[in-house]
Amino acid sequence: MEIIIIILVSFLYSTAAFIFWVSKGGFNKRFLYTDNIFLGITIGAFSILLYKLTGTGLALLLLIFSPVIGFCLFVMLFLYRFFRNPSRKITAGPDEFVSPADGRIIYIKELDKGQTPVSVKKHRLASIEEITKTSIPEQPCYLIGIAMTLFDVHMNRAPIGGEVILVKHTLGDYLGLNKPESTIVNERNTIVIKRDDGIMVAVVQIAARYVRRCIISVNAGEKVDQGAIIGRIRWGSQADLIIPRNCEIKVREGEQVYAGETIIAKLL
């Protein structure tokens, strides 16, 4: 009977942690049926082992040791999830754009010719004025936002193959922090890639508030293949993709996408 109680309580702790992060941290619900099950089983196994080997009282085990074990295992699971860099098979065709990041599509906005893109991150706005140095604003575009949670792979990949023509770092500038609707320019990196046929895309790495961990691993003038790693963002955040509007969007808001694998759009 004690073993059953330990297993049930272990799953209770694990499920409570994941429900919290699904509701507050934007985790994908699929983690409730994958990582949550693994974590619950592992917490239960360690708790049963501790109970059998040390003779710890059941109440002390369930109220103190099991939560501590669960917290430590959750942190270890997070570190594994966050820092992993799985290989990706790039299968996109020449007229297709792949996702630059793992995460969830939070918006797909249409931009008119000459309109400066504005990224939105939790009601904070960032005007991406640096792309006016390229010819991207000379045509209608799509601005696609991808929110990355702590459990997503944080490596960013090139949506197309081509030459990196712009690498721009913008320092964070926080204004009106007491008003969530205020315009706030977050730290960001902007990478523009141009194909030989003139097609251009921009990837914008947007840091989390107060977190400055946007890293670019390419330089202007370099050639990159489609799906190649171009940078990474630490501790969660957002990656935006700017592509020409003469294409068919293959994703929808709320959909989970994967860097280098998910087809975001296809040229018409």
What the block records as the tokens of 130 is: 């640096």
pLDDT, tens digit, 9 for 90 and up, residues 220-244: 999 999 999 999 887 657 889 999 9
The alpha carbon dihedral of 33, 39, 44, 49 has a sign of positive
pLDDT, tens digit, 9 for 90 and up, residues 161-178: 999 999 988 776 533 223
| Proportion of the chain above pLDDT 70, given as a percent | 83
Domains located in the chain, CATH noted: 2-83 (no CATH), 96-267 (2.70.70.10)
23 C-beta neighbours (distance < 10 Å), count: 9
Closest CA to 148 of 7, 51, 25: 25
* Cα R_g (the chain), whole angstroms: 22
Measure the CA–CA gap between 149 and 104, rounded to whole angstroms. 9
Measure the CA–CA gap between 169 and 186, rounded to whole angstroms. 11
Query: Which amino acid appears at position 54 of this protein?
Result: T
pLDDT, tens digit, 9 for 90 and up, residues 56-77: 889 999 999 999 999 999 989 8
Active site residue 237: yes
pLDDT score for 172: 60
pLDDT, tens digit, 9 for 90 and up, residues 243-256: 999 999 999 999 99
Beta carbons within 8 Å of 117's beta carbon, 6+ residues apart: 109, 111, 127, 128, 131, 141, 143, 202, 204, 240, 242
Catalytic residue among 14, 47, 99, 237: 237
Q: Is 47 helix (H, G, I), strand (E, B) or coil?
A: helix
Q: In terms of residues, how long is the chain?
A: 268
